[in-house]
Amino acid sequence: MESDGSSCLPLPPDVENRIVSDLLKESESNLKEGNLHYVVSNRWFRRWQLYVGQPTEEFSSKDHSSDSPHMNVSLFNVPRPGPIDNSDIIINGGDSENNELEIERFLVERRDYVLVPGEVWEKLFDWYKGGPPLPRKLISQGVTQKNFYVEVYLLCLKLIDSRDGSESTIRLSKKATISDLREKVFALKGVEQKEACIWDYFNKWKQSVLDGTSQTLEELNLQMDQHILLEVDGTTLQTGGAVMSNGHSSSYGNQGSSFSTSVSDMDDRNDVSSTAKNRGRGGLIGLQNLGNTCFMNSALQCLVHTPPFVEYFLQDYSEEINSDNPLGMHGVFALAFGELLRKLWLPGQSSIAPRAFKGNLARFAPQFSGYNQHDSQELLAFLLDGLHEDLNRVKRKPYFETKASDGRPDVEVADECWRYHKARNDSIIVDVCQGQYKSTLVCPVCRKISITFDPFMYLSLPLPSTVTRSVTVSVFYGDGSGLPMPYTVTVQRHGCTEDLTLALATACCLKSDEDLLLVEVYDHKIYRYFDNPLEFLASIKDEEYLVAFRLPKRESGRPKLEIIHRSVEKYSTDHSKGLERKLFGTPLVTYLGEEFHSGADINAAVSKILFPLRRTYSSTVSHSQSVSRSQSMDNEVEETSEKELFFQLLLTDAGGVSCKPIGKDSAIKHGPLIKVFLDWTDRERKLYDVGYIEDLPPVHQTRFMKKTRQEATSLFSCLEAFLTEEPLGPDDMWYCPVCKEHGQATKKLDLWKLPEIIVFHLKRFSYRRHLKRKLDTFVDFPIHNLDLSKYVKSNDGKSYLYNLYAISNHNGGLGRGHYTAYSKLIDEKRWYHFDDSHVAPVDEEEIKTSAAYLLFYQRVEK
């Protein structure tokens, strides 16, 4: 055994990979609540993935510079990782009271850590030791549909002991019961249960006594980092906090709905520092942050300041509650939102804590549970849909069979679709927020046209830079007729490699008798050939390296010769001297003749493709026969060039493992691809300028470019990009009823019917393979009189002028960003800034920023 406890005879990498893969499949087929998973640092886990040959697509925020799979990490010689090391994802020292290890806050799965089943952890720990182990349980969330997820962050509660005012930290699962909490607290403090009681001490106000019941901490809406209070034998901490009842009395109690919460928002008192002087007026009340809930607060402030919603929810809407809708939440969600809106429009408090609303949100939308940051647009979509289903006036939805347009007039088809939609969906949300757009799909094969009219509740607009992408490709002459040159072209983000080669052909002035052969270069070898012209560009990452070879069309189909460069260098140790060979540069590809191949044929092909790199040639092309080159050098190059140069070539296999020297008369086995190593010594370097085959630019050099202020764009440009015809992405293939197969159809959207309230979602976040990127582009948008008339294809006689009344902002970068809101009090005609619990007036000219994420507009009636 080694000193760290690991085995002296580790398993081969492929065996480790197979064992872990089998265990993962077995775990996925046996998901149940309570299963143990372990949190493992992604920094260590990616090293293990590289070692066993698993693909790594994510980059750690702490260690991406050295472990990126495109940073000269050889897939063929990756060292075995050391012991498991979770030190980068835990807070040093753990908890001082009970020595529990605490995981760093705000970590992102697959970027900072991975989750492995208990069986996988046992194997990894047996092989590598290390740690420390960070076990977490699989829990379920949701009412109508159970979702399983690993509770990475336990609920952290701050326990105050009323006897001495000391503070301790308690960590439990939010699925733990009050009995579990009491048992842990009393054991920690060494007191008897009959002698003490524990209070929900949110905001340091006594909310309710936490009795020994089977209710869970989640059901009681206890929040991350909130206080709980321990009182022993009647000792009371003097804070001035009033004792609050934990009962709930809804003003809609006579409706017979199932709405009830153990702690209402009314119980969640405003910050105790508030005074009568700074308490809010109706509509100017903040929402306290309950632990990364700024995304929720931002979206809610925009909704509760939507004029039609204020009017609707401040009145009696009890008759419209649909408690029987299987797609809804039994009216609970609409009642919770309505009650929250009423509190925010009631004067008297500077801020409230929406604990009950967050609790209901977590019950019905498990994706928003926990304490991670979420997307305010994703929440808005759920809120609008949930409110619609809870308030749907249609109790029994009729069935309609969708009819094809079949060449009928658009007006007829659109009206028919809207009638069908309204027959099944009729609520305040439909009345106010839903519009209709026309969608036209065209099959790329048979040109079949499909036209549909669909409802929408918001419009997600791409920023111009997200519709297209710039791609840099280094173009080489496969016949040796010119020097290589990098080209940067702009292509559709959801396009295919055929679009890229067509754009490259235009950029490099490709001749009519030439083709482009596109490849990806990785670790100085050709990683893949892009043989399929319909391969999606989404498979190409920004940090990869692309090369295209200009080759004669007439030679297409002949055997390819792939030339891989190796640098031959001398090395010496205390005991021996020898030569070391390392891969370098860009591999080259050319075609061979169809006849029998000998070593001389291979040598001639190599000499031909390298010809532009000869120092006399490149000097003439690049410097127009500069006279600054020394005479001695010219003589040496000319003397060598007059002789027949035979390169040091070695035939290798597909994996680059075997090597067989090639002589002039060597017989080369005929095949579609012949791969050879070209060994470079000082002799070849004097003759050829290898700088042309080194230092390839990546596809898109974002991570290495100095960040500059991005070019501004306008809301109109974003809308036009949304309405522009484009190919569908790889995840949205369309099934053509004529061709009977899925294909990459083109899609064109047109606005047909606009609602009273229109929400524009500026798509600042892009997601690729678990990587998330934010665009800080400034989007200029009208505050008054947004005119959309030229974009609407129908004429329903309504106004298409809109005024802005609310904005959801996302400030900062990814992971550490913060949401705020701007809302306008229509009666005052004045804007306010809502930053969680803080509310302050703001000048209208200050609300236009590059943080704008959701824009809320209301129609200006004629």
Which residue in this structure is represented by tokens 């949930």?
A: 386
* Contact status, residue 111 vs residue 58, Cβ threshold 8 Å: yes
560-572 and 588-591 as β-strands: parallel, antiparallel, unpaired? antiparallel
Spatial separation of the C-alpha atoms in residues 804 and 197, rounded to whole Å: 51
294 carries an active-site annotation: yes
Which residue in this structure is represented by tokens 């009647």?
A: 234
Say which of 70, 248, 700, 818 is annotated catalytic. 818
Say which of 156, 294, 417, 433 is annotated catalytic. 294
Spatial separation of the C-alpha atoms in residues 609 and 476, rounded to whole Å: 9
Residue 163 DSSP class: T
248 carries an active-site annotation: no
Spatial separation of the C-alpha atoms in residues 391 and 433, rounded to whole Å: 14
Q: Provide the greatest CA pair distance for the chain.
A: 104
Q: Is 302 helix (H, G, I), strand (E, B) or coil?
A: helix
Secondary structure string (H, E, C) spanning 91-134? ECCCCCCCCCCEECCCCCECCCEEEEEHHHHHHHHHHHCEECCC
Q: Is 90 helix (H, G, I), strand (E, B) or coil?
A: strand
Return the exposure string of 822-831: e unless at least 16 CB atoms fall within 10 Å of the residue's CB, then b: bbbbeeeeeb
Spatial separation of the C-alpha atoms in residues 104 and 112, rounded to whole Å: 10
Take residue 692 and report the two structure tokens written for it: 């042309």
Cα dihedral: 465, 467, 473, 475 (round 10) = -120
Beta-bridged to residue 198, according to DSSP, are 230
Which residues, other chains included, contact 768 with Cβ-Cβ below 8 Å and sequence gap of 6+? Answer: 538, 541
Take residue 358 and report the two structure tokens written for it: 């967050």
The DSSP annotation for 710-743 comes to PPPEEHHHHHHHHHS-EEPPTT--EEETTTTEEE
Query: Which helix (H) or strand (E) is 247 found in, with range?
Result: none
Spatial separation of the C-alpha atoms in residues 214 and 108, rounded to whole Å: 32
Spatial separation of the C-alpha atoms in residues 115 and 31, rounded to whole Å: 14
The DSSP annotation for 275-295 comes to -TTTPPPTT--EE--SSS-HH
757-763 and 459-462 as β-strands: parallel, antiparallel, unpaired? parallel
* Contact status, residue 517 vs residue 532, Cβ threshold 8 Å: no
The DSSP annotation for 603-636 comes to HHHHHHHHGGGBHHHHHHHHHSS-TTS-HHHHHH
Given phi > 0 = left and psi -120 to 50 = alpha, else beta, which region is 166?
beta
Separate counts of helices (H) and strands (E) for the chain: 19, 46
**Interhelix angle 294-304/376-390, nearest 10 degrees:** 50
Q: Which of 526, 519, 675 is nearest to 602 (CA)?
A: 675
The DSSP annotation for 143-196 comes to SSS-EEEE--SPEEEEEEETTT--EEEEEE-TT-BHHHHHHHHHHHHT--GGGE
Q: How far is CA 429 from CA 477, 650, 692, 739, in A?
A: 61, 72, 62, 39
Active-site residue set: 294, 818
